[in-house]
Every structure is written in C-alpha cells, then in structure tokens.
Amino acid sequence: MDIRFLESLIAVVEHGSISAAAKAQGLTATAISQRIKALEASFGVQLLVRAGHSARPSRACLRLLPEARSLVSRATRLQRSFAPLSGPLRIGAIETALADHIPAVVARITQDAPGCDLSIKPGTSAQVYDLLLRDQVDMAVVVEPPFPIPKMIRATGLVRHPFVLIQSQALGPVQSTDLKARPIILYDRSAWGGKAAWQWISTHANPQNVLCELDSMPTIASMVRQALGISLLPCSAGLAGSPGLASATFSSFPPARKLVLLEKAAAVGDPLFTLCRTAFLAAV
C-alpha cells in the first residue's frame, strides 16, 4: 500500500471534494480519483460517497481514518529520521498566537530548516485542539484546556496573559464603575479563555449590558477604541500598549489566561518538533 494514497484519501475527507484535495496536493483530480479507486479495490469497500462535486467519507472510510492518519504520521516521522529537519510540519494556532508568536517561529524554521514544508492552520482553541487529536496538525498553540489533558498529549507552557479592563482613551481613565455604566463587548463565553471573563462579568457587572459577543480580541479592541463599549480581555502582546485604549487591572480579576503548546507525546523527540518548540519558547 502506498502511503501517498492514504494522504490523498485524508485530503479528500478534509477538503470535502476531490478537486479541492487535488489542488491542496498539487495533483490532478484524475490522479486523486485513481488513488481512491486503488484503495477501494485494495480494501474491498467503498470509501467515498459522491454527490455532485462534493465527496464525503463512507462508514467504512470513517472506521479506516484513525488508523490511516496514524500510518501517515508514523511514515512522516520515519522519513524524518533520515532528513531530520525536512518534511511537513503543520501548526494549529489561535488568533493571539498568529499575531504574537507565529512570525518569529516561521522565521526561525525558514532559517534553520529550509527543507520543512510548513503550514499554519488558524482556529479557536477547541477547533485547533480537535485538529491535533485527529492528527490534522502536528502541534497546537491554544489556551490551556479547561479539562485534564490526555497522557498522549504533551503540554509546554508558553505565556500568561493577565486580564485587563479596556475602554476608549477618549472616555478617560478606566474606573470599576464603568463596567456597570457602559455597554459590554464580551469575549466569547464559549471560548476557553472567555469563560473566566464571563464568570467575572456576570458577578461584578450587569450582564444585561452586553452589546455583542465574539471571539476576536483585535476586533473587540477596535470596537472599544471607537467607544462602542468596554471589555475584559487577556492582555496579549498585541493588546498591551495599543493606541487609543485605556486599561486597568483589579485584584478581583480572574487568573491570567495561559497559552500552551500541545503536541503528541510520541513525537516529542522529533528534531523538527524540537526546533519548533524551541522557536516558540524563544518567541514569548
């Protein structure tokens, strides 16, 4: 069995169509279709259900996918044992990490591992964590999960972001009473970092004052800068000292939000992963 055929099957499942998978892999749609047919002949089952231009995994394919992803991952690690700083490296990252850390990490990998085929996949903490569990990324930068991490996952602490209350500088210094008097632009309470902010706001402010809710700190900061409301956010590097914003901290604020780098424990000794981990630690 050719591992590349499994890679093509996984690409079709992830991208939702043969044409999209072909574009992602730099192949023709005909080549992808031939690989899928070869796998179906080998396994004796239908792997894809086609509907128009889309393709979704069959039940048999869903049973096969976890082992297929594992085989592809192990084959990649085997190839790296001969060329340790080359091959694919997929990093999942939340918005904060994309702005604060990823540029320096990409620069380091480009310099020290020019043979690396690097891809960055953005998402929320929950989305990126799920990608790691499904072997769709190799490393993930997320807010520390609000649940025990499985033993198969290794976590490396990166940085802590204390919470700050922000409002437009045009409104003057931030006062604790402002949270009750002004509209609240809420850091998404379903986000791992937003739950703590919501718990504090629901206790110390009027939840009825919530103007809107979203999981994008740059967008929230922009709205606050325009005096549309006030917000409680983790003070990331991109937010600290941001022009047009006044900020304050209070002793009752929730504990700082912690960012962690997650990776499969089985890949911890991989030289390329070690380089990437070192680059993240140097970037904080």
Domains, the chain, with CATH or none: 1-82 (1.10.10.10), 83-158+257-284 (3.40.190.10), 163-255 (3.40.190.10)
Q: Which of 48-52, 117-121, 135-139, 269-273 is predicted with the least confidence, judged by mean pLDDT?
A: 269-273
pLDDT (tens digit per residue) in 192-210: 989 888 988 888 888 888 9
How confident is the model at residue 35, as a pLDDT? 93
The average pLDDT across 82-107 equals 87
Q: How far apart are alpha carbons 192 and 224 in whole angstroms?
A: 21
Burial of 13 (0-12, 13-18, 19+ CB in 10 A): buried
> Cα separation of 284 and 80, whole Å?
27
pLDDT at position 107: 94
In angstroms, the CA 243 to CA 180 distance is 24
- What whole-number distance in Å separates Cα of residue 72 and Cα of residue 215? 33
Please give the residue that has the higher pLDDT: either 77 or 224. 224
Task: Look at residue 82 in the predicted model and tell me its pLDDT.
Answer: 63
Structure tokens at 205: 């402010």
Please report the sign of the dihedral spanned by the C-alpha atoms of residue 74, residue 75, residue 79, residue 80. negative
Residue 177 neighbours by CB distance under 10 Å = 9
Mean pLDDT is lowest, of 31-35, 224-228, 239-243, 260-264, for 239-243
Q: Is the pLDDT of residue 81 over 80?
A: no
Residue 81 burial by Cβ neighbours in a 10 Å radius (0-12, 13-18, 19+) = exposed
CA 133 to chain centre: 12
pLDDT at 84 over 70: no
